[in-house]
Chain A
Amino acid sequence: MIARRVISVLWFLLAAVTCIVLFEGLLHLYNPNRSRLRNGKILLPANQTYVFTNTDIPKIEKRIVHSKNSLGFRGPEIPARFGEYLSIIVAGGSTTECFYLSDDKTWPYLVGERLKGAYDKVWVNNAGLDGFSTFGIIPLLHDHITRIRPAYTLFLLGANEIGRKGDNAADKDKMAPSSESVSILKKVKNESELFEFARITWNNLAKRGGRKIGHHPLDLQALSHVNIDQRAIDAQLDVHRKAYIPGYRQRLMSIIRMCRENGIRPVFITQPTLAGKGVDASTGVNLETMVLEDGSSGLMEWKVLELYNDTLREISRENAVPLIDLAAAFPRDSRYYYDKLHFDIEGSRVAAAMIGDRLKEIIAGDDGRLPGEFRRGDGDGNVRHAGSFPAQ
């Protein structure tokens, strides 16, 4: 009697193992929960919806919904008659991805809404990825964006470039894993889809529908202050100028070349930050002397970032790439940021307004040479195709 029961249990367990092995295999073929778009080097999570419960940061929503479409970007799917749309992809790091803003609060989305006022059919996708720099953006461009061939690609660059010599953890996170020799157990842990699924599900259930937020709010008034003299700042700038800027210039040139070879118009956007000259309009805190990182002051951080922004400005000028100088125009007010770089809901709106309006000027300037039928107000109803742009 007991023997029968034991045998039943054994069959049950054997069946479980059979199915685990079977599904591990199936999941490696296709895993809908961590669907990865693998084109070349870059893996993007597609068709995902993340829901975050925010209890830490007051300036953003309590419940954040972040969705990725089938391209692995935020925004609508590619429409049926793509060629008729003013198509824009926005690339950058976390300040572009706006990870902790809901879909309809991100500035790329709001730029799209703004453009819809002037153009019939607008399609904007947000290809921003937390932590990405030009190191990651170049393969992203190569593997994903050039396949889509939007009319414009906007690049908000700066913060993640600082002191970068190569791929960092964030870039690597999105890249196909290389075959390194790792212990078997670790390999199973890393490679097993089932394990990953179980882990994620456990996290989801434990948090009851809301993931925790990875960013932390910045409390300006709790910061200490320091005065760093000009010489120290200059020394730092020199370091960057020698070690990092030349590489940055090269990568920017690559980006421009890749875009233009594929009929995409690049647009560069400089990176604004809360740190810098003067005093915060909302709290009165001195933005020059505040200490955000050890050994650095607000003024120094800003000057270093401006070095990279200047590089962007120069490259734009030298190569006739339209520039949206958000760094210069954006108000230095903690009302618009929840930390030194990331826009809150208000800030996102302001950024979208500035970028959108400037973008309208740029597009209008290009007006005579654009493909598709998305221009309005062409009285004779003609559709003009620029010969060098491939039709969708």
Chain B
Amino acid sequence: MSMATMNTLTQIFRLVFDDDSLQITPDTTANDVDGWDSLSHVNLITTVEAKFTIRFTQKELLRQRNVGDLIADIERKISA
């Protein structure tokens, strides 16, 4: 997992959740981040897709359980 991806993702999180001090780790899940309930999750995903110019499949999205899964999917798609 590259630091660059992690950094970009952190910035995206901070942007979407309007919190400049937000820190994420691979284990961060929906319960940890304030505001990351189902309705803001979709904003996160669309921003990630726009930023990295990728598109997740339905199956990938439904399988993601935490930030680690998200990063893994991102990296797999960038390197593809």
Task: Consider the complex of A and B and state whether they touch directly, i.e. have CB atoms less than 8 Å apart.
Answer: no
